[in-house]
Homo-oligomer: A and B are copies of this chain.
């Protein structure tokens, strides 16, 4: 179906290093599919990239309204990409609501592609607009490309057997075709995908493929575009096999890998909650890996079942978001007390309370470290990007199993739903941490300690080693209930020390930029990309700025003292009111920490960080 002569081939082909496009339309317009296809094709042509979907709030709002707007942003580049891009270079707006909700973020002078077919009076009314923004000056200063996509799709599919409504559903592929033309991408991958996706409905394959091609061909309208662009393959990426992956998916795979590396059966106890539910959905598919997924009646039952499964010899796992973590606090304390492995994944969302379930925030850190009764220490780590979620999940499993402890792994919905190219790991080289069940009754006591301070893991079914565990204080060694004063102190310190000893097997974080200087930008979790970009820019602008990103948030890794002492100030950037800043200040009162925060349910933009650092240095 591909023509031999590319339409518009005579137009100048401009090289660009990097481009950020945002597709925006109604929830029913298929923007997520469009974005994902563009992503995929860009990955296949070898760009580095990062993506960020922006879903509407949970319930489907009426079509055409502002709350119903769905967006997908992709940043692709021939160089390293750290974030899905701050402000888009191109905004595709399928209707007035999509336009008004997003226009504010389009780069000055950026390109705005609008589907004028959806700018009728009715459409404007649904978007609560009194005037047509295309006519009232709202889009001044942008390169506006108006195109009646509704109409063009209708014409392109005039002889299709599909109903009018179904025909209009092909709009997104028309739009995608247009963008493929503009950025010189091949149609093949998407053509194939359509073939597979609608294998059972050939008429849909044909219609969408036609629409895609029609959009591509439409690029040839000289008046519309002044030129085409090309973004070359990225040659910075380390050698390897790649695929594009979303954070939640990578996290799920990492948990599965963690189970394999520990030799344990994975038992997930979960209760659905945005944005963590996808982990349950994904792991539920892995039945042939022996993974058990148990959708419990609530978050408390979920963690308790997982802990029961750990007692019985599984790798217990529970996945949730902030409100669920709050509910699990009591049971986490039990896990601390009985010293069993357990992985708790918190895909953070904006709070407090129900908050904004689809928005990003890093506000569960202090809850994770401190939110339990009694002294109940738990190691806490955070993934920093979609692909890092794989490594962190594996690391969380390692710590849980090697240290007989619950572990909290923080993600957030920016990581969860974002995607980036993943250099697929060499499975031979994954860390090994086979769990050891003790079966020798000789000299066994349930709370005896090995030289690292760990108690032996004996699973029910092991002959001659019956024992009882529970949440009351236990006598050192025997594990019998004990109210003895010195024993309680001993056990409290043992629990504390065991968690602190995780420091022995974690790395000091890497420093990017000068190893001493004015400012060290420090972050954790999903802000890595923005901070990295900002720091790169600062350095490019000649500022004395280094940056580092922390995976292990509790206990803190070794070597920080030396690092912190090398900079005039440490700027802790986080999406909360300064939670890690607080932790660092209390651990290292001698250094000059500064806090930069944002609580808007959105990620940092690297420009705002850059600006802040600049101002800091100018003071």
Contact = CB atoms under 8 A, between A and B. Distances in A.
A598 B376 contact: no
Give the secondary structure class of A's interface.
mixed
Interface residues of A, number: 66
A375 B577 CA distance: 7
B351 A601 contact: no
A57 interface: yes
Nearest 9 CB-CB pairings of A with B:
A351-B374, A322-B373, A353-B471, A371-B371, A352-B374, A352-B376, A589-B589, A586-B586, A485-B600
Interface stretch (A10-18, A418-426, A487-495): A487-495
A327 interface: yes
B356 A333 contact: no
A590 interface: yes
Interface stretch (A87-95, A170-178, A357-365, A553-561): A357-365
Copies in the complex: 2
Contacts of A371: 326, 329, 366-367, 370-372
A325 interface: yes
Contacts of A24: none
Given A323-B373, A336-B353, A338-B353, 4 more contacts: A326-B372, A354-B470, A354-B471, A488-B601
A600 B488 contact: yes
Contacts of A576: 375
A52 interface: no
Interface in A565-619: 576-577, 582-583, 585-586, 589-590, 593, 598-602
Contacts of A375: 351-352, 363, 576-577, 599
A129 interface: no
Contact of A586 (B326, B364, B585, B600): B585
Interface in A6-55: none
Interface in A297-355: 321-323, 325-327, 329-330, 333-334, 336-338, 348, 350-355
A603 B613 CA distance: 48
A560 to B, nearest CB: 15
Contact of A472 (B327, B356, B373): B356
Given A488-B359, A599-B489, A352 B337 contact: yes
Contacts of A323: 330, 333, 373
Contacts of A486: 600
Contacts of A350: 374, 473, 488
A169 interface: no
A372 B473 CA distance: 25
A483 interface: yes
A352 B476 CA distance: 15
30 contacts: A57-B481, A321-B373, A323-B333, A326-B329, A326-B333, A326-B371, A326-B372, A326-B373, A329-B367, A333-B351, A337-B354, A353-B376, A353-B471, A354-B471, A355-B471, A356-B472, A356-B473, A359-B488, A361-B374, A363-B373, A363-B374, A366-B371, A367-B371, A371-B372, A483-B601, A488-B600, A489-B598, A496-B577, A586-B589, A589-B590
Given A333-B351, A599-B375, A600-B485, A577 B370 contact: no
A101 to B, nearest CB: 11
A361 B375 CA distance: 10
Given A371-B367, A374-B350, A599-B375, A330 B333 contact: no
Interface in A162-196: none
A542 B473 CA distance: 41
Contacts of A363: 373-375
Contacts of A336: 352-353
A481 B336 CA distance: 38
Contacts of A485: 600-602
A612 B334 CA distance: 33
Contacts of A582: 586
A367 B372 contact: yes
A473 B599 CA distance: 12
A364 B355 contact: no
Given A322-B374, A351-B375, A483 B356 contact: yes
A315 B492 CA distance: 37
A21 to B, nearest CB: 21
A73 to B, nearest CB: 15
A589 B589 CA distance: 5
A337 to B, nearest CB: 4
B376 A370 contact: no
Contacts of A472: 353-356
A367 B370 CA distance: 6
A599 B361 CA distance: 35
Contacts of A329: 326-327, 329, 367, 371
A342 to B, nearest CB: 13
Nearest to A481: B57
A351 B337 CA distance: 9
A187 to B, nearest CB: 36
Nearest to A488: B601
A460 B238 CA distance: 63
A372 B354 CA distance: 12
A472 B353 CA distance: 7
Contacts of A577: 375, 492-493, 496
Nearest to A589: B589
Contacts of A57: 481, 483
A359 to B, nearest CB: 6
A353 B333 contact: yes
A351 B373 contact: yes
